[in-house]
Amino acid sequence: MSVLLNTGILGIGNQGNMVAALANSRQVPIPVLGLNTSERDIDAVKSTTSIDCLYIGDGKGAGKDRTLSKEALKSYIESFMGDETFQKFIEPLDVVFIVSSTGGGTGSGASPMMADILRNFFKDKIFILVGTLPTIGESVGAQRNTIEYLVETERLEIPYMLFDNGNSTKSSTNDIYDQINSDIVDAVCVIRGDYNLLSKYGMIDTQDMKKLITLPGLIHINLLKGIYQEKIPSDGSIEDLIVASLKNNTMITPDRDKIVKRRGYIVNLSEDIQPYFNKDFPKITDIYGEAAEVFDHYSVNDDDEKANYVVLINSGLSLPENRLKSIQHRIEEVEEALKKKKESSILTALSEKVGIYDSTTARANEGKEIKKFDLGDILSKY
């Protein structure tokens, strides 16, 4: 396999560590390093994989608190940067993906700060933030952490990718996490050049890929594999399959604001289905808008039609406001619920009964001499 860019994953927090472990287990392993504030989380990772992991802070974790994660990184960043394991990891890389969840504590808090530090220290390398958003049903704390993560990410003006647990087609929590983690690794493999087969018809080279991924803003990748003729609608095209697959993409759904700076596509098709492919992508252009620059890679597959695939890369996209609005609605709903107070009719009825008892007792005591409480007087009787 020819490598366009030497890529690596710095996985921060529990999800970042899981993605790192998965990436390192690929047939062609991706260099990885795990980082966490929780020594127990690192122990869990090391129980199933041999990847290198470091921890910052006291090893007790961040408890969903981004502030604790930031403080830990501030205190340990110099020792981390000087660590031989970190230096060995980062030295040969062209591109580093800093992967974490956006809703937790450790990864959400440390990742944007880490990206800012590393991009200023290693100016010859490309750093891409990769965050995974929580489902709308998760806690308000996770939603707030996500907002803070996104604010800091946008402020950095760097390239980033966002995945969304809410876009997963899986039902169980474990399956959702597994699908997202696998899709993150696939995206990293796209950038590495795993799908760029040698071709005489035109190729995306190293500099082309760098142009695609260095623009500030959202990078969106759609990978459609296993294309064969029976899947193509009788009156349709391969592009119809791509448009349909966008609905199942676990990456965050971009707004249709027609703002896209650069586009790249990597195509590998057998000769029998090439007539169903239109390299102008008119329907994709209608969805995303027309890109200022387009890079294409086209190869002919003559071995196994199941290896047919199309990769679509859009970069320089805006942060999707539609997804932010859903987070806003979730927070507002919970805040409104917290303001509500249940009026108890039972308590009101009981209160009235107590009032009746008090008034009855008062009438029964009318005319009686009220004696001052005297503990000594009572005790003298015994």
What would the pLDDT profile of 109-145 be if each residue is shown by its tens digit?
999 999 999 999 999 999 999 999 999 999 999 999 9
pLDDT grade for 30, boundaries at 50, 70 and 90: very high
Average pLDDT value for the chain: 87
Angle of the 106-121 helix axis to the 66-81 helix axis, nearest 10: 40
pLDDT at 338 over 90: no
| Mean pLDDT of the 36-42 span | 76
- φ, ψ for residue 221 (rounded to 5)? -120, 130
Q: What is the distance between the alpha carbons of residues 216 and 82, in angstroms, rounded to a whole number?
A: 28
Q: Where are the beta strands (DSSP E) in the chain?
A: 7-12, 32-36, 53-55, 95-101, 126-133, 159-164, 217-225, 262-269, 293-300, 309-317
Q: What is the distance between the alpha carbons of residues 3 and 128, in angstroms, rounded to a whole number?
A: 18
Specify the pLDDT at position 333: 85
Specify the pLDDT at position 199: 87
Burial class (CB in 10 A: 0-12, 13-18, 19+), 157: exposed
Contact assessment for residue 125 and residue 165, using Cβ atoms and an 8 Å cutoff: no
List Cα–Cα distances, 4 to 97, 218, 302, in angstroms.
Answer: 15, 21, 23
pLDDT grade for 318, boundaries at 50, 70 and 90: very high
Specify the pLDDT at position 178: 93
Specify the pLDDT at position 369: 58
Q: Where are the domains of the chain?
A: 1-194
What would the pLDDT profile of 356-382 be if each residue is shown by its tens digit?
655 555 555 555 555 554 545 544 543
- φ, ψ for residue 209 (rounded to 5)? -65, -40
DSSP 102: S
pLDDT at 61 over 80: no
Half-sphere exposure for 26 (CA within 13 Å, toward CB): 21
pLDDT at 247 over 70: yes
Specify the pLDDT at position 307: 82
What would the pLDDT profile of 135-193 be if each residue is shown by its tens digit?
999 999 999 999 999 999 999 999 999 999 999 988 898 999 999 999 999 999 999 99
pLDDT grade for 342, boundaries at 50, 70 and 90: low
| Mean pLDDT of the 322-340 span | 86
Q: Which residue has the higher pLDDT, 106 or 7?
A: 7
Q: What's the one-letter identity of residue 20?
A: A
CATH architecture assignment, domain 1-194: 3-Layer(aba) Sandwich (3.40)
User: Of 120, 136, 101, 103, which is closest to residue 12 (Cα–Cα)?
Assistant: 101
Specify the pLDDT at position 347: 63
